[in-house]
């Protein structure tokens, strides 16, 4: 989070002191030694030395007065020091034996004034001994390097401080970066505060390390910002870079300064990015290697326009840079944004520092047209985390869309904690939308500390060199609850994976680094599994062996290089875990490194550019079909020439004959090259330009249809295809005209009871089921239309900032139009009790003609709430229980009624879903919003992990444990109904599946009595152990199925044909009492 020390001090934050005892402890603990009274002499020889950009070290000499008892240190930012022991902010109280302290959490390049008071312990203090010091500047950020034909350009971002005097750039051959401003070779920047330099005269094929230092007015250097690169070999000169230039303004045309312009692209798993800031005229210039780039313009910190207070919304673009070309971009106009602030705390209310908040866009939950998940970078252009006080601020957030704020903690910490912890991802229960220029403060978000163990370690090469890379935990035991974990190792090779479920795992790692090995380092997994224990830390170490590498050149017709094409490298070995990939450069060259030794095949996509308009055809390397790679060596000469493809050109127009831009045009018959079971797909699609024109290349000779799809993230769109067209290799067949039909749609405007628009309401068009006996999932119960009414979801869209949703892509007919408003909100926050879901009428009463759009305005009324607590029999809170109220906005969507026909535990509560808002917190409390007025059952479904060994049974208000019904309660509009529920423990069954005494992984089925009604399903891990909990009292039959073995029902009853019902009549029934546990349900298997 961006927050200065001054702001932290103004909020009354305490500065942490390394090694300092807590006030009135240590020397002051217990009975204090007797001291003479009266102010002692002053402390002497007080000094302050900058240690880092965020810390200063104080030292002083204590007086020898008999009355001296302790030293108190106070601080103020700036040049004025505290004059009394009550002014300024407390650093600490130090006993008579202490004479040093390290003050942390300071702002970079900031001056501070300290006052050191010698005290007698009775409230008397000597005059202050004052010392002033300035922290070091922050290191320059985001150092990046890219290769030119004859030089290398290194770019960075300077710290924003008035103390910045100059920038020093030093470089050295090798991976070891210069550690001081006099080490290595110096490069003179063009100005004292330049943000890039050109390195000329470098040796070809050589690795370099560059350090950038920020030097303040006192001549002190910051920590270095380091970047490393390898120059291209002399035999393969890189293409000349191009430039991309433009201008950024606000909506009034005023230039914006300090707008961040970043061009980025992925090369395999590596992100390549080049960025700069706009100047006072709003202009920018990026020097980019040839190829395609995505460009993000972020104005969160921009200035000079009409929305400096709240920032500007980001804009995106794509650009193709030719070798040595200059591309002038259209002027980018940034719309005013909003500010969103919030606080993240733990369950006890303590602020969490280092937590990562993110915004999750609300998506349709009745039938999502897109499974859209956007990181905060995609939404507002910046990442952020909480500060020491748990707060965060996001600038430049765009209005007109709704989101829920979520957060997680990875090695985050609360005040006073010596080590970080992991916290489970949690999301706000209500959605938020913002207005341009407004500041919105979100409700406090509470995170729960994650259970489980921690895996730490260091990733190195076989030679002991630290490696940056990816580390993953792969569960050894085939148990559904063990999902493993993932982390990235830093430059020092260290990694940490927290909140790992107890169990056994393989630790696997890979790296894209070629440091110390031109052929890279091969991925590997630990030879033996590691055991993770809850609450414990397991240390591991992975040393990657030398990898193999392969390279080649990809050309097209007439020997032209094919640039930017995907290359897929996969092992020909059965069940191989590792492969690789690459992208061809501007000269068609490619290299894949870090592959394990073995035999591989290579296939090439047709997504590259060969200079021909008809494109190329994907293919695989044909010489012998596969090639052998050896560790530490690079195989060259895997050169392939792709054959010319054919192309179809044409235009897409609407029903009135006007061209339509941005329409996806594709060939439905496109097929990939799969000779070696490699996943190489033809590109097979393109997008119409501003004039509706398209050229679809890379097609095989023969006849093809061309189809279009006008769908976007917000609309279903319409689809259609052309008649078959003959395609010849190397030729472009033109004249294809695709006409989109007139839109058949329902346009819904949603308002609240005051007539204001409601954003993020899931407006849904529901068609009658084609066959009332249809058991297909598409035909679902529509609770808002009655328990016996079923329908099929035809379209579902969220209302926008104006409360409007267009349900298009419909066919002529009759529909029910229903509003599902769980996430419904307004800039003012929406209804405090949520909105009641509603339909237009009580049946399928909205008729839509072909090519017509029906306009509807619907009012979404306020709902009621149901709240209370869920506890166990002893009154202990039960967290994570899912509350179900059939008339609530979280539970009355189509298909929800099925949850009340049987196992309540199947109700959804995924993070960010409506159901997640109906979970109990750490205190067992809950609130269910948007309940329609009427009488409703209230049921609690516990999390399988919330009840210990035997779990809790579900409970409905007024009903028996595990029963699916109870006594209904009355809910009124704009009112709260209180319902407390008490859960009891269920029973548990456990045993082991074996073969000759060794464990066997198997599926476990717990059936009701001797009937074939499945009550619970479980899994036996590789050790054969299994358990199933949360069982109501009753009689059960237990059966297991394992690959390669006869099925079996307890006790010793073979189940030979798994396609038929198990022989339940011969099985032994297990009787289980309330809360009881029955073990020894063992299964010695026989081979099938």
Check residue 12 and give its pLDDT. Answer: 33
State the average pLDDT over residues 660-687: 61
State the average pLDDT over residues 123-147: 83
| CATH number, domain with residue 93 | 2.60.40.10
For residue 671 the two structure tokens come to: 């097929």
**Do 628 and 530 share a structural domain?**
no
pLDDT tier, 398 (very low <50, low <70, confident <90, very high otherwise): confident
Query: Does residue 40 lie in a domain region?
Result: yes
Check residue 851 and give its pLDDT. Answer: 87
Check residue 712 and give its pLDDT. Answer: 63
Query: Does residue 732 lie in a domain region?
Result: no
Give the domain-ending residue among 207, 238, 269. 238
Three-state secondary structure string covering 762-780: EEEEEEECCCCCCCCCCEE
- Report the DSSP beta bridge partners of residue 226: 211
Is a pLDDT exceeding 90 seen at residue 756?
yes
The pLDDT tens digits for 443-495 are 999 988 877 888 999 999 999 999 998 898 888 765 544 566 788 888 899 99
Distance CA(1077)–CA(986), nearest Å, equals 9
* Range name among 264-268, 331-335, 691-695 with the lowest pLDDT average: 264-268
Q: How far is CA 211 from CA 157, 188, 273, 274, 286, in A?
A: 13, 13, 18, 17, 21
State the average pLDDT over residues 620-638: 76
**Do 127 and 9 share a structural domain?**
yes
Query: Does residue 276 lie in a domain region?
Result: no
Q: Which pTM value belongs to this model?
A: 0.65
- Report the DSSP beta bridge partners of residue 393: 341
Is a pLDDT exceeding 60 seen at residue 146?
no
Distance CA(34)–CA(46), nearest Å, equals 26
Distance CA(658)–CA(651), nearest Å, equals 10
What angle is formed at CA 57 by the lines to CA 55 and CA 61, rounded to 5 degrees?
160
Q: Give residue 15's region: left, alpha or beta (phi > 0; psi -120 to 50).
A: beta
Query: Does residue 360 lie in a domain region?
Result: yes
The pLDDT tens digits for 322-362 are 778 889 998 999 999 999 999 999 988 999 998 989 888 88
* Range name among 4-8, 22-26, 897-901, 1053-1057 with the lowest pLDDT average: 22-26
**Do 910 and 798 share a structural domain?**
no
Residue 283, phi then psi, degrees to nearest 5: -95, 155
Closest by CA position to 605, among listed 592, 620, 593, 595: 620
**Do 11 and 85 share a structural domain?**
yes
Residue 768 contacts residue 779 (beta carbons within 8 Å): no
Q: Three-state DSSP class for 6?
A: helix
Distance CA(812)–CA(814), nearest Å, equals 7
**Do 143 and 219 share a structural domain?**
yes
* Range name among 367-376, 423-432, 750-759 with the lowest pLDDT average: 367-376
Query: Does residue 316 lie in a domain region?
Result: no
Is a pLDDT exceeding 60 seen at residue 777?
no
Query: Does residue 223 lie in a domain region?
Result: yes
* Range name among 190-204, 230-244, 322-336, 581-595 with the lowest pLDDT average: 230-244
CA dihedral 769, 774, 775, 778 (to 10 degrees): -30
**Do 1032 and 967 share a structural domain?**
no
Closest by CA position to 28, among listed 113, 140, 122, 106: 122
User: Residue 604 half-sphere exposure, CB side, CA atoms within 13 Å?
Assistant: 35
**Do 475 and 409 share a structural domain?**
no
Closest by CA position to 239, among listed 609, 608, 587: 587
Is a pLDDT exceeding 50 seen at residue 379?
no
**Do 1074 and 1046 share a structural domain?**
yes
Range of the structural domain that residue 1065 is part of? 988-1084
Query: Does residue 1013 lie in a domain region?
Result: yes
The pLDDT tens digits for 842-865 are 899 999 998 899 999 999 999 999
Closest by CA position to 195, among listed 154, 148, 249: 154
Q: What is the count of structural domains for the chain?
A: 8
Closest by CA position to 893, among listed 367, 371, 401, 372: 367
Residue 172 contacts residue 178 (beta carbons within 8 Å): yes
Distance CA(653)–CA(663), nearest Å, equals 10
pLDDT tier, 828 (very low <50, low <70, confident <90, very high otherwise): confident
| CATH number, domain with residue 753 | 2.60.40.1120
**Do 27 and 92 share a structural domain?**
yes
DSSP 965-997: ----EEE-TT-EEE--EEE-B-EEEEEEEEETT
- Length in residues, the chain: 1088
The burial of 326, by beta-carbon neighbours within 10 Å (0-12 exposed, 13-18 middle, 19 or more buried), is given as exposed
**Do 162 and 115 share a structural domain?**
no
DSSP 830-866: --TT-B--EESSSSS-EEE-TT-EEEEEEE--B-EEE
Check residue 36 and give its pLDDT. Answer: 52
**Do 960 and 1028 share a structural domain?**
no
Query: Does residue 352 lie in a domain region?
Result: yes
Q: Three-state DSSP class for 7?
A: helix
Give the domain-ending residue among 399, 432, 447. 447
**Do 538 and 553 share a structural domain?**
no
CA dihedral 989, 995, 997, 999 (to 10 degrees): -60
> Which residue did the predictor score with more confidence, 277 or 28?
277
The pLDDT tens digits for 351-378 are 999 898 988 888 888 864 333 333 333 3
State the average pLDDT over residues 411-429: 78
Give the domain-ending residue among 495, 526, 544. 544
State the average pLDDT over residues 139-153: 68
């Amino acid at each position: 989070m961006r927050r200065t020390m001054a702001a932290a001090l103004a909020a009354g934050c305490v500065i942490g002191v390394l090694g300092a005892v807590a006030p009135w402890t240590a020397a002051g603990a217990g009975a204090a030694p007797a001291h003479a009274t009266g102010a002692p002499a002053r402390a002497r020889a007080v000094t302050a030395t900058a240690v880092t950009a965020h810390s200063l070290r104080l030292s002083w000499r204590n007086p020898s007065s008999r009355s001296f008892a302790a030293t108190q240190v106070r601080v103020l930012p700036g040049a004025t020091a505290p004059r009394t022991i009550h002014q300024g902010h407390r650093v600490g109280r130090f006993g008579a034996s202490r004479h040093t302290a390290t003050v942390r959490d300071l702002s970079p390049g900031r001056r501070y004034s300290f006052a050191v008071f010698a005290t007698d312990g009775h409230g008397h203090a000597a005059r202050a001994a004052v010392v002033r010091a300035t922290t070091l500047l922050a290191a320059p950020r985001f150092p990046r390097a890219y290769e030119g034909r004859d030089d290398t350009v290194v770019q960075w971002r300077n710290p924003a401080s008035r103390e910045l005097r100059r920038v020093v750039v030093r470089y050295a051959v090798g991976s070891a970066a210069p550690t001081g401003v006099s080490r290595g070779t110096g490069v003179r920047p063009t100005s004292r505060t330049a943000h890039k330099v050109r390195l000329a005269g470098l040796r070809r094929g050589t690795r370099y390390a560059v350090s950038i230092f920020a030097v303040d007015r006192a001549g002190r250097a910051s920590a270095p910002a380091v970047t490393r690169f390898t120059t291209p070999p002399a035999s393969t000169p890189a293409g000349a870079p191009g430039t991309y230039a433009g201008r950024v303004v606000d909506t009034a045309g005023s230039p914006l300064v300090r707008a961040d312009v970043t061009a980025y692209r992925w090369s395999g798993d590596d992100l390549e990015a080049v960025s700069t800031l706009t100047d006072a005229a709003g202009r920018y210039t990026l020097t980019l290697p040839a190829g395609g780039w995505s460009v993000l313009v972020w104005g969160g910190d921009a200035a000079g326009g009409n929305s400096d207070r709240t920032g500007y919304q980001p804009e995106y673009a794509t650009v193709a840079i030719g070798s040595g070309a200059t591309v002038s971009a259209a002027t980018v106009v940034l719309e005013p944004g909003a500010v969103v602030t919030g606080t993240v705390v733990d369950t006890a209310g303590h602020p969490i520092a280092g937590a990562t908040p993110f915004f999750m866009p609300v998506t349709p939950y009745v039938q999502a047209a897109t499974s859209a998940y956007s990181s905060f970078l995609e939404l507002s252009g910046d990442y952020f985390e909480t500060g020491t006080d748990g707060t965060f601020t996001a600038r430049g957030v765009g209005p007109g869309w709704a989101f829920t704020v979520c957060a997680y903690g990875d090695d985050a910490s609360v005040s006073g904690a010596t080590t970080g912890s992991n916290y489970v991802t949690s999301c706000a229960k209500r959605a938020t939308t913002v207005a341009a220029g407004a500041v919105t403060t979100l409700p406090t978000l509470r995170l729960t500390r994650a259970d489980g163990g921690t895996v730490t370690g260091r990733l190195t090469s076989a030679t002991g060199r630290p490696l940056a890379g990816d580390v993953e935990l792969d569960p050894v035991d085939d148990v559904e609850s063990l999902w493993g974990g993932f982390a990235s190792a830093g430059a020092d090779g260290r990694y940490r994976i927290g909140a790992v479920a107890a169990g056994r795992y393989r630790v696997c790692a890979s790296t894209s680094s070629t440091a110390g090995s031109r052929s890279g380092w091969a991925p590997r997994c630990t030879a033996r599994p590691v055991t993770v224990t809850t609450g414990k830390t397991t240390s591991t170490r992975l040393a990657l062996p030398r990898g193999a590498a392969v390279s080649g050149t990809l050309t097209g017709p007439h020997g032209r290089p094919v640039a930017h094409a995907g290359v897929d490298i996969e092992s020909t070995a059965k069940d191989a875990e590792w492969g690789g990939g690459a992208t061809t450069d501007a000269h068609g060259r490619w290299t894949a490194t870090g592959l394990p030794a073995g035999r591989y095949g290579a296939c090439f996509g047709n997504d590259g550019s060969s200079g021909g308009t008809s494109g190329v055809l994907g293919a695989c390397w044909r010489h012998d079909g596969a090639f052998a790679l050896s560790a530490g060596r690079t195989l060259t000469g895997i050169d392939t020439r792709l054959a010319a493809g054919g192309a179809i050109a044409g235009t897409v127009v609407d029903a009135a004959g006007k061209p339509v831009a941005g329409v996806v045009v594709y060939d439905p018959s496109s097929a990939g090259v799969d000779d070696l079971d490699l996943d190489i797909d033809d590109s097979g699609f393109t997008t119409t330009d501003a004039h509706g024109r398209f050229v679809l290349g890379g097609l095989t000779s023969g006849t093809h249809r061309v189809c279009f799809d006008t769908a976007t993230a917000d609309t279903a769109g319409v689809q259609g295809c052309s008649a078959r067209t003959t395609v010849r290799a190397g030729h472009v067949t033109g004249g294809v005209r695709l006409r989109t039909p007139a839109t058949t749609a329902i346009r819904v405007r949603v308002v609240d009871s005051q007539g204001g628009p409601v954003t993020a309401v899931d407006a849904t068009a529901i068609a009658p089921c084609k066959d009332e006996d249809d058991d297909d999932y598409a035909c679902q119960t529509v609770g808002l239309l009655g328990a016996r009414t079923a329908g099929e979801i035809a379209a579902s869209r969220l209302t926008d900032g104006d409360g409007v949703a267009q349900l298009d892509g419909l066919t002529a007919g009759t529909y029910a139009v229903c509003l599902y408003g769980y996430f419904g909100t307004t800039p003012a926050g929406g209804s405090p009790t949520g909105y009641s879901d509603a339909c237009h009428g009580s049946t399928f009463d909205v008729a839509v003609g072909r090519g017509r759009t029906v306009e509807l305005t619907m009012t979404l009324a306020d709902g009621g709430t149901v709240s209370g607590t869920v506890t166990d029999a002893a009154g202990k809170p039960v967290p994570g229980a899912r509350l179900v109220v059939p008339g609530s906005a979280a539970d009355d969507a189509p298909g929800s009624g099925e949850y009340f026909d049987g196992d309540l535990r199947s109700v959804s509560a995924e993070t960010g879903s409506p159901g997640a808002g109906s979970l109990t917190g750490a205190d067992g409390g809950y609130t269910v919003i948007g309940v329609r007025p009427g009488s409703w059952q209230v049921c609690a479904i516990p999390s399988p992990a919330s009840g210990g060994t035997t779990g809790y049974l579900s409970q409905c208000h007024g009903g028996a444990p595990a029963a699916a019904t109870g006594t209904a309660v009355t809910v009124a509009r704009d009112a709260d109904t209180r319902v407390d529920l008490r859960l009891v423990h269920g029973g548990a069954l456990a045993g082991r599946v074996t073969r000759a005494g060794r464990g066997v992984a198997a599926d476990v089925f717990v059936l009701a009595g001797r009937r074939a009604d499945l009550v619970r399903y479980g899994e036996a891990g590789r050790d054969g152990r299994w358990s199933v909990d949360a069982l109501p009292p009753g009689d059960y039959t237990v059966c297991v199925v394992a690959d390669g073995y006869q099925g079996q029902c307890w006790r010793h009853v073979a189940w030979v044909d798994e396609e038929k019902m198990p022989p339940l009549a011969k099985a032994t029934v297990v009787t289980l009492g309330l809360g009881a546990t029955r073990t020894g349900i063992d299964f010695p298997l026989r081979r099938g």
